[in-house]
Chains A and B, each alone.
Chain A
Amino acid sequence: MTSLEISLSKEIISDHFGPIVEKVCTILISKDRLLISQIVNLTKLTRRQVEEALFILIQQNIVKYAEKPRTPLNYYSVDINEVLMRIHFPLFIHTLKEIFGTDGEEIAKLLLLHGRLSLTKLLTYVEDKESIKNTFCSMVATGFIIAVRPEDSISMIDKLLAEEDIEVSKLGASLKANDVNRIRVSLAVRAENEYDNNVATGMKRKAISNYDEYPSKNVYNSVSDIDENIISRLNYNKLLVHCRNKSVINLVKERLTPSAAELMKEILKIYTEDFNDCKRNSVAGPFSSAQLTYKISDIKLKIDYSKGGGSKNPIVDYLETYRLDSVKFLTKDADRGNGDYYINFKEINNYMKIDLIGNSIKEKYGKNSMRLWKILLDKGKFDEKQIAKVALVSHVEARKCLFELLNAGYTYLQEIPKTIDRNTMRSTFLWYTDMNKVEEQLISECYKVLINLKKRRKIEIEKLSKLIEKSERDDVKKDKNLLSEAEIFALEELKKIINRIDISEIGIGKMLLILKEY
């Protein structure tokens, strides 16, 4: 947790929930686990206020608890990833609107507003109950909504510690020094393997409770299978998988043709259907061109054979084009599976990251800097004069660009001393760049810009707070003439400003997705 992440979380929570909850949350992030009494001491709020704030945060899945053994007290801790995921809420709502229509949008908004809801409670907020129910059902079936069980409010670490305690007590007296480590490792591996089961069992369990046999897919289409009292929430991971697919399709559309993008859409639909998590599911496939031809029948594939080359089957041509493109949309693995194709999302993500970083360097520091950075990334460590030769720039220019990049944190120097006393006059300095460090650098910059944007938005709203209050009054809402022209103009201006800030925030959110989540 860097200080930037903490500041950003502070801004997000204050934006969404107000100053009291923000105080509690900040204290919890800075000090990790705390008891209620400790929180009260540190924030100087009343106990009632702290309890209510914690209630809100638990409801929103941000705070998790752990029981202090042999006492009725509880420790509370914040899961910072949940907080940072709130940056992407607008994108999630938009995605669900695209897939499920306006009903989906409404459900998404309600679930995000309340954190977690049961279906019965959700239906009290809407008017058109039937269609909402149906959409809810299909969202559950596709995995976008998952159930919240009581165990979900306990953080992962505590769960592992509890299991470890059980295992240790089983060994009892014969506990040796290495046993604890061994148990920890095996439990972590088991938790990793069971991840998919844990997530997927969200709704299946409910359906199984009504039917004795293993449910087939048709089961979910009927509304009566969903247990209406189980509390559910949006599944962020599944949404991220969907967003990742969308950005891959966009990339294909940019680099190749729209019909190639259509084909890629179909491929992804078939082969990423049961993906639940971006990080864990990063390879789709394998599939061969024959299997694909069998499954896809109606796409118009356009290949220009007039200039020569090509094989007889247009699908094979498309797949090969995907494979040979520098982005390496598909890879062929000769060892596993007879030369079948795989979609390797990590490779595609790597290209997207390099492209993003290259473009931001180009915008800020110029074309030459971008070239030099890419050469360093490609070829490793270079002396200044050599790199100037490869890039066909003058030495003066190369030196200027490289030092600018050094100040910004994109390139680094490696000293190679020739003498024992490391005399700098007699040492060679090599330039290099490291992808991990550069990514982190850009992520920090994005965070900082987000913080600035949110602060600025707050300030702008505060400037006109009296006017906003006035316009929210009931009598003013009914009769717009109570507002003078200047006031109306000022309100319009404010709307424009906030709109612009919102758009930038969403754009930076997309950048963060590429850098962090995919």
Chain B
Amino acid sequence: MPKVTREHSITATRKAAMESPIKKEKKNTKEKDNTVYGEILPADEKQLIDLIQAFPKGISSVLALQHLDGWSINDLVTVGNSLSKKDLIEIRSSSSGAGNNVLTFVAVSEEEVHKLRSMDANEKIIYGYIKEAGSKGIWQKDLKIKSGIHQKQVLASLKALEKRKIIKTVKSIKNSIKRVYMLYELAPSDEVTGGTFYQDNELDVEFIEILSHAIYRKILKDSMPTEEDQLLPANYPYYPTVSSLSNFLNNSDLFRSGVSLDNDDVQGLLDRLVYDGKIERRLRTSIASNSIDDDDDTWMYKAVNTSKSSETTLTCTPCGQCPIFKMCSDLGEVNPSSCEYFSKWLEF
């Protein structure tokens, strides 16, 4: 390669740096050398990247210009571009209120850089979209539409990324055929797995039943006056609330280890009991509370004395439970005169 001798040119320094690699490998500190993550950089890029790394949350272009004396906006843009091509920084643009597009430079972490170095162009794009989807994950078809890459290539890239354990697939609760891609290290969000009550992609019905029963018994105990025929006064303020029940459940040992319920889960169980007609809600009027943490609750829950059986007379008759009720008429095979269910019922 012909030597270019321009003393202060950027390329010369770069070439010079590249020609003496041995020295660089020995010293691996970032501050003294021009290396970032094992790669050799020219001085101006090094300067910019040091500055950006000093601001972990990112530095806007305006602020960068203030720190770097003598740099014009063009210099900043060129150097920034070359750094971004090497995947050392990310450039994000956001528009401020005045309508100017502000560029923010964010440094990319070391593992990321290694990952990105190992991908080709397609994979990089796909990786970008998957990262954007975060813990919700993204469907393969959506990826194809967004990136515009051909189906086969998308598939190939996904396979490659999965092999390298950069991304993983998670089965979605809502649609069991749909497989969703997300970053390897992220835990799938509640939407995908379903939340606390889901176990192995299925609603854990027994678990919910046990919990509801426990809550109901606790509320029942707390709603009873000391004697049979008495009533608790109307503005009795000590009925259980969501927080108190949540504490109660978490302190009992009804659970598998490691599972705890938050207030939303308990609220869901309470709503379920309300719709069953077993408990009812009352507004909390007085400020009196059992412990500090149920100040925020607006509702308290009281057990209801329902009638012992929910059998209506309609369902006592054979017609009430008859599966072919709609077909029953005088003109057809199924009629009240010769109804077998009737005969059995009358024989009791």
A-side interface residues toward B, CB under 8 Å? 254-260, 302-311, 316-321, 323-326, 355-356, 358-360, 362-364, 367, 370-371, 374-375, 378, 385, 390-395, 442, 445-446, 448-449, 451-453, 455-456, 459-460, 497, 500-501, 504, 507-508, 510-511
Contact = CB atoms under 8 A, between A and B. Distances in A.
B86 to A, nearest CB: 45
Interface stretch (B90-98, B234-242, B254-262): B234-242
Given A255-B304, A317-B234, A321-B231, A455 B337 contact: yes
Given A255-B305, A392-B197, A455-B337, A302 B230 contact: yes
B237 A309 contact: yes
A303 B232 contact: yes
Contact of A355 (B275, B277, B313): B277
Contacts of A394: 202-203, 205
Contacts of B229: 257-259, 302
Contact of B203 (A260, A311, A364, A393): A393
A363 B230 contact: no
Contacts of B268: 390, 392
Contacts of B56: none
Contacts of B346: 460, 497, 500-501
A256 B233 contact: no
Q: How many B residues touch the partner, as a band?
A: 35 or more
Contacts of B304: 255, 326
Contacts of A364: 315, 320-321
A360 B315 contact: yes
A149 to B, nearest CB: 38
Contacts of B280: 325-326
A375 B275 contact: yes
A360 B346 CA distance: 22
A355 B271 CA distance: 17
B336 A307 contact: no
Interface in B191-240: 197, 202-203, 205, 208, 225-238
B339 interface: yes
Dominant secondary structure at the A interface: helix
A455 B342 CA distance: 12
Contact of A302 (B227, B312, B317, B325): B227
B9 interface: no
A-B pairs with lowest CB-CB distance, top 5: A507-B313, A310-B233, A320-B234, A304-B225, A309-B236
Interface of B: 174, 197, 202-203, 205, 208, 225-238, 268-269, 271-272, 275-277, 280, 282, 286, 288, 304-307, 310-317, 319-321, 325, 328, 330, 336-337, 339, 342, 345-346, 348
Most A CB atoms within 10 A — which of B203, B238, B339?
B203
Given A257-B230, A259-B229, A311 B235 contact: yes
Given A309-B233, A326-B304, A359 B311 contact: yes
Contact of A304 (B230, B321, B342): B230
A504 B317 contact: yes
A257 B189 CA distance: 48
Given A307-B225, A367-B276, A254 B312 contact: no
B233 A317 contact: yes
A510 B346 CA distance: 21
Contacts of A257: 228-231
Contact of A256 (B238, B305, B315): B305
A459 B325 CA distance: 19
Given A326-B304, A455-B337, A456-B336, A363 B235 contact: no
Given A356-B312, A391-B275, A508-B314, 12 more contacts: A254-B307, A311-B235, A326-B280, A360-B320, A363-B312, A385-B174, A394-B203, A448-B328, A449-B319, A452-B336, A453-B336, A455-B330
A374 B336 CA distance: 32
A378 B275 CA distance: 9
A452 B328 contact: yes
Contacts of A355: 277
Contacts of B310: 359, 362-363
Contacts of A316: 234
Contact of B315 (A363, A385, A460, A510): A363
A451 B342 CA distance: 13
A306 B226 contact: yes
Nearest to A306: B226
A453 B228 CA distance: 41
A452 B324 CA distance: 13
Contacts of A319: 234
A171 B96 CA distance: 78
